[in-house]
Amino acid sequence: MGLYTLDEHGFYGKKFVPVHNKYPNKVMIAFTGRDGSFKFASRLAEYYSGIGITCVAVCYWNISGLPLEMINVPIDSIEQAALQLQKEGYEKIGVCGISKGGELALLSGSLISEITSVIAQLFNSFNQLYKSYLQGIGHEKFVLTISCCISLASISWFVLLTRKYGLAGVYMGLIFNYGIYAVVYWAKLKYKVVKVSITCKV
């Protein structure tokens, strides 16, 4: 286990090296999202270490010397971690981010050439949108059931379309999701108009 500091390495992190290293030339960089929990990132890195992969838990915000709020968070910490690990001799460097960290993982993978693979564990954002709008309509009683059904349908369509049409399937899945989103938004808008109309009459 090795510790990386902002002053010496340009990022804050902790390396977890497995007892039986199955992939000596590969390493993962792990981080979480809005929770800003380095402890959780360390547990994630510990998990990778447990299955034979060296992993570095990185904290990119919410500590001294780094942004204290998740606003305009730079990817410098991830870049410095990747550069440091490359100096140490690792040939394949992957990143794993959860929630907002998943978005950072995708961004890092597209901008940092040293990163060769990305695992982005994103929550279903469409499900959150649907849930929000269904709550706005006033059907809290059915929110969980309806949003879960919509979530299952959207994920199923994504998987089926992507497997059949590849990248084009991803776009088709997005169009499908936005179509449902538009219907739910229209329902919310209609509900608000009706509610205002009734209030005015009273």
Distance CA 44, CA 41 (A): 5
Evaluate whether 177 touches 161 at the Cβ level (below 8 Å): no
Which tops the pLDDT comparison, 187 or 27?
27
Q: At what angle do helices 167-201 and 140-165 cross, to 10 degrees?
A: 160
pLDDT at 46: 93
Distance CA 145, CA 98 (A): 25
pTM: 0.63
DSSP string covering 81-108: HHHHHHHTT-SEEEEEEETHHHHHHHHH
The three-state secondary structure class of 10 is coil
pLDDT band of 168, cuts 50, 70, 90: confident
Distance CA 188, CA 165 (A): 33
The three-state secondary structure class of 114 is coil
Q: pLDDT at residue 194 above 80? A: no
| Residues near 5 by beta carbon (within 8 Å), at least 6 away in sequence | 12
**What are the structural domains, with CATH classification, of the chain?**
2-121 (3.40.50.1820), 125-201 (no CATH)
pLDDT digits (tens, 9 = 90+) for 30-80: 999 877 778 889 999 999 999 999 999 999 998 889 988 878 888 999 999
Distance CA 116, CA 122 (A): 19
